[in-house]
A and B are shown apart, each in its own frame.
Chain A
Amino acid sequence: MDIDFYWSTFLELLTGVPLMAQLVSLSLAVGFVLAVFVALIRLSRWRLASGIAYGYVYVFRGTPLLVQMFLIYYGLGQFEWIRESFLWVFLRQPYWCAILAFTLNTGAYGSEIIRGGLQSVPWGQIEAARAAGMSGWLLFRRITMPIGIRQALPAYGNEMILMVKATSLASIITMLEITGIAQRLISQSYRAVEILVVAGVIYLMINFMLTRLVKWLEHWLSPHLRDAPVVATPAAALAH
């Protein structure tokens, strides 16, 4: 086994991590806001808006991310009005096209996860908030959202992992993230197996850290699901 080659490949591929991290964090951040927004529209009483939101979710869940990315990168440039608008500043760059595709994709999946979380909030707790004089945004911000997000977090963690892996598709539209660099190295050395093994290991390491992070977040947000704190009472002290 050529340890030196593995090591140099590893160091080379690591240079793609910052770009990957940018793609993931930016699209997850914007995608999360989009997901909450879409989930709220889906749950609203406004039929037309809810239908449009469902249509968006249906299209982006039902088509491959790769196809979406190609259509955004190659397809949008076909429209003259887009090329002449300010959007072109962004859309002519593969970086923003990738982010747009990832954001729209994770927004669609995420909205379904968050919708499930919000719908699982016990009705009695919402009613108690209403009875206390809360409504609208206050009720959502203080009660529905905090409870719903906690319910949705495990599933959302899964979506985050899927997004890390999905960034490898950005290599198709010329982005030199981990997979992009791997492909470049393969075309130089023809040592595909070793390079892809190293790339796989890097993805594993990133996702390991990500799952730890989500796990910690879950733990931190759910003291109410753990055992009660042990309080030293005077009676307990006397018993010793």
Chain B
Amino acid sequence: MEMQSHGGIRSGSPPAVPREGAQRSTEALSVVDLHKSFGTLEVLKGVSLDAHEGDVIAIIGASGSGKSTLLRCINMLEVPDAGEVRVGGELIRMRTGRNGRTMPEDQSQVDRIRSRLGMVFQSFNLWSHLTILENVIEAPVHVQKRPRPECVAEANAILDKVGIADKRDHYPAHLSGGQQQRAAIARALAMKPQVMLFDEPTSALDPELVGEVLRVIRQLAEEGRTMLIVTHEIGFAREVSNRAIYLHQGRIEEEGPPAQVFGNPRSERCRQFIQSHI
């Protein structure tokens, strides 16, 4: 992979995996025995994971291993066929519909929980008709119903933090991919989410733009934010996470501290995957 492209940010900065003595009591996210099929293809075959406050969990695996589906099931963009999802201790209630498929019981609960999960997509998905500032304040103003001036002030601070304050009045189409992704991260942050979900945030970027986005994500990790990061950037995942999960064909094949998963995996498949990606 393109490790040299963001190699610069690795040297010099301290490893972002402190949290050894941090409190591990508060559960931010819990997933139990998640199953999901698309037609006859079973993508998730029973995946469970827990994230405590401050955890940065890297999810790696080959294409089709189910890592994006896992992330999308957590905020119900894909509705799991079976299993439980809890956010901040609150269980997303499910029911079986008339057609026999499971679905969320209460859409307003799903909306509320989604607003506590900040999702960052591979393809940014900024709203094209709104300026960057409008993108960032949209959900705080219209979903969380917070006063607009307060949201604007916060949005300016967040945009400053991700380094695109000068682009606030531009439209997404006027920004580079890296700037768009940083705007999308700002949009997710503006909702003050409990957990951030990153779905391959750098996979759609030109190699020279990957570094600026990883720098922002690293900064968030250092602040102690709870994050799940699906990524192909093995080197970055190793530095920034305090736990790593290797998915293979819809199951967790290897799980543990990054030193183990990336350095000395028990699973031969995981070892091969890591080797082929470095």
Contacts and interface: CB of A to CB of B under 8 A. Distances in A.
B125 A127 contact: yes
A119 to B, nearest CB: 16
B117 A131 contact: yes
A228 B170 contact: yes
Contact of B114 (A125, A131, A138, A229): A131
Interface string B136-152: 00110011100000000
A134 B135 CA distance: 13
Given A142-B142, A228-B174, A132 B114 contact: yes
Interface in B73-132: 75, 77, 107, 110-112, 114-115, 117, 119, 121, 123-130
Nearest to B127: A125
A132 B139 contact: yes
Interface residues of A, number: 28
Given A122-B128, A132-B138, A229 B170 contact: yes
Nearest to A126: B125
Interface string A96-128: 000000000000000000000000001011011
Contacts of A131: 75, 77, 114, 117, 119, 121
Contacts of B221: none
A128 B125 contact: yes
A87 B239 CA distance: 74
B206 interface: no
A133 B171 contact: no
23 contacts: A122-B125, A124-B121, A124-B123, A127-B121, A128-B127, A128-B187, A130-B114, A131-B75, A131-B114, A132-B114, A132-B115, A132-B138, A133-B111, A133-B114, A133-B115, A133-B191, A134-B142, A136-B107, A138-B142, A224-B171, A224-B172, A228-B174, A233-B166
Interface of B: 75, 77, 107, 110-112, 114-115, 117, 119, 121, 123-130, 138-139, 142-144, 166, 169-174, 184, 187, 191
Interface of A: 122, 124-125, 127-136, 138, 142-143, 146-147, 150, 221, 223-225, 227-229, 231, 233
